[in-house]
Amino acid sequence: AQAHQDFGALYRPLAAAIRAMSTAIATLRRYLRPVKRALRPAKRMAERVRRGRWPLILMYHRIGAEGEDPWGITVSARNFAEQLDALRRHRRIISLGELVAHLDAGDLPKDCAVITFDDGYADNLHLAKPLLERFDAKATMFITTGALDRESEYYWDELGRILLSPGLLPETLHLEIDGAACDWSLGEDARYSADDAARDRHWMVGAKLPTKRHIVYLDLWKKLFSMSEAARPAILESLRAWAGVAAGMRADRRFLTKSELPLLPAGGIVEIGAHSVTHASLPAQTPAVLEHEIRSSKTQLEDWLGRPITNFAYPYGEHNEAAMAVVRQSGFASACATWTGSVARKTNRFRLPRVQVCDWNGEEFARHLAARFVV
């Protein structure tokens, strides 16, 4: 009994001390919460500063084209010049090949940027390259080999030409796609004036659909996206017949020709990369088609240009382990995806991140990049 009393005499003060300490810790935590909340912006900025020193890979497609741009891939020549000027003031511009060499050596440079172009539009040669030379800015241009010498626009551009350009269309559309009947009604949106097109000029996929034409555009894009390159022409021909427009290609949407291709790397400011044969979504392909899309795009470009092609870009940015494996086995040194981020030492060089650039002037360009990465 005496021992029990002695233990109680010792335990009670200890328990009281523990309770007091717990109360003090809880009180401290309450006071620290607003301090932590106040420090979060500074912590995020510090993280951006840390990330912002790592290299960025910028992604472009077209320069100077006008008209509809539902995917936000067109940058005017004037804005592109301002972006290059801003980029040179804030970062050192290097080629993709140089960046990959640094990754291999383990000495990744800070505060640099890489410029890339996808698809192989003719304006890359006639509008982008002169500006790149003016600012002494190296770039890598990824070429879809099957698009060279095309006599018609790619399906995403042709859908825009038919559905998002001013004009009068039939009020209803019926197509047979993959054995299924597909019907749409345009109603009063069958009539689409130049003012209407100008009003919707800056609409992009993901924003509110302004007209029924835009609904049909997006529906058809999804259906054509999942088709093979061989199956699309019949659907597009039916669509042209419905709209009463002839096959053809707008001058500002045409792709390079095989005779123009060697002019891109001439002078050394542009290096060429591969972008598949038909711009297919690679994860959806059979192993045989996947091999053809990746390997043939490399060998075709090497045959035409007489130089090694060492960098690849996944069409639509879509890739999986199988596609990455074929890219590696085909002898490429790197492959670009489309997920947004900066390049760090541990970044997988076969799924390099890129930042898509929109039609911003120089000031907007710097501000948009600074929102994610310190420039």
Q: How confident is the model at residue 204, as a pLDDT?
A: 94
Query: Which pTM does this prediction carry?
Result: 0.84
Cβ-contact 205, 220 below 8 angstroms? no
What pLDDT score was predicted for residue 19?
81
Q: Do residues 342 and 372 lie in contact, with contact meaning Cβ atoms separated by under 8 Å?
A: no
234 and 263 Cβ atoms separated by less than 8 Å: no
Helices (H), 277-361: 287-291, 297-305, 321-329
Give 301-315 pLDDT, tens digit per residue.
999 999 999 999 999
Provide the mean pLDDT of the chain: 90
Percent of the chain with pLDDT over 90: 75
152-210 confidence digits (pLDDT tens):
999 999 999 999 999 999 999 999 998 899 999 999 999 999 999 999 999 999 999 99
Residue 110: predicted pLDDT: 86
Rounded distance between C-alpha atoms, residue 32 and residue 9, angstroms:
35
- Per-residue pLDDT of 194-251, as tens digits, reads 999 999 999 999 999 999 999 999 999 999 998 888 899 999 999 999 999 998 889 9
CA distance 151 to 283: 28
pLDDT tens, position by position, 22-69: 787 777 777 666 656 654 544 444 344 444 578 999 999 999 977 899
Question: H or E segment at 314?
Answer: none
